[in-house]
Amino acid sequence: NAGVTQTPKFQVLKTGQSMTLQCAQDMNHNSMYWYRQDPGMGLRLIYYSASEGTTDKGEVPNGYNVSRLNKREFSLRLESAAPSQTSVYFCASRAGLRGSNQPQHFGDGTRLSIL
């Protein structure tokens, strides 16, 4: 079982470039999430999608956009990358909807550096 798959695993961008991080899950989960992880700050929620067709802002949405393309896929886009967006990005999914007592499943992360 693949679980949650993120691509790419590593990326280096120049300031001002755009980039889309891809995330796909094969567990038929309803909810999907994007986090960034920075030293000493834990995981901060960027955007989430409670169900197909809906997206909501998390704690740190500025500079990002998301698309819930279908039930499987949830992409994160940086329209104009800034050095402050250098981070490790994690996608997660969980069953959701029929009970909030399900844990999240995480992808392996994308290490993004903005020069």
Partner 1 sequence: AQSVSQHNHHVILSEAASLELGCNYSYGGTVNLFWYVQYPGQHLQLLLKYFSGDPLVKGIKGFEAEFIKSKFSFNLRKPSVQWSDTAEYFCAVITSGGYQKVTFGTGTKLQVIP
Residues in contact with partner 1 by the rule CB under 8 A: 30-31, 33, 35, 40-45, 48, 50, 56, 58, 90, 92, 94, 96-97, 100-101, 103-104, 106-109
Nearer to partner 1, 41 or 115 (CB): 41
Nearer to partner 1, 12 or 41 (CB): 41
CA dist 67 and 75 (Å) reads 5
Nearer to partner 1, 30 or 85 (CB): 30
Burial of 15 (0-12, 13-18, 19+ CB in 10 A): exposed
The DSSP call for residue 100 is S
Check if the beta carbon of residue 78 is closer than 8 Å to that of residue 70: no
Least CB distance to partner 1 at residue 29 (A): 10
